[in-house]
Amino acid sequence: MPALAAVPCALPLDSGKISAGFPSPAADYEERRLDINTYLVRNPVSTFFFPVEGRSMEGAEIFDGDVLVVDRSISPRHGHIVVAFVNGERLVKRLYHRAGRVALVAENKAYTPIEIREGLELIVWGVAVGKFKRLPA
């Protein structure tokens, strides 16, 4: 799903951080606004959203049901989390590209890396730049 016509969506952003440990005093007012589009979408024409299915990227904090923000204008490099096609199958994995070796690596030890060898067609489609996650209400 493309992010073509990004309509501003400025939401309140407090300057105080939320404590995940002990409570801290918080401001009773908002100081600025956060536009989700400018925060996650650098290039609207080349940005797309993909729902994630599966558990192979849990070590990278990408979980089943998350929505990835993927930018096609970024040149993929070693270590990037990418959306790629291997023989036509769309995957999200970490790109490994060192010393002539190319692989797509899961962030879950239950999944083996996909070594890109002769006979496999690899198309790196875009680079993940963020994600959305809906919490249970």
17 is catalytic: no
User: Active site residue: 15, 93, 131, 133, which one?
Assistant: 93
CA atoms within 13 A on the CB side of 90: 8
User: Active site residue: 24, 46, 56, 133, which one?
Assistant: 56
Break the chain down into helix, strand, coil percent, rounded to 5.
Answer: 10, 40, 55
Distance separating alpha carbons of residues 24 and 122, to the nearest angstrom: 49
56 is catalytic: yes
Active site residues: 56, 93
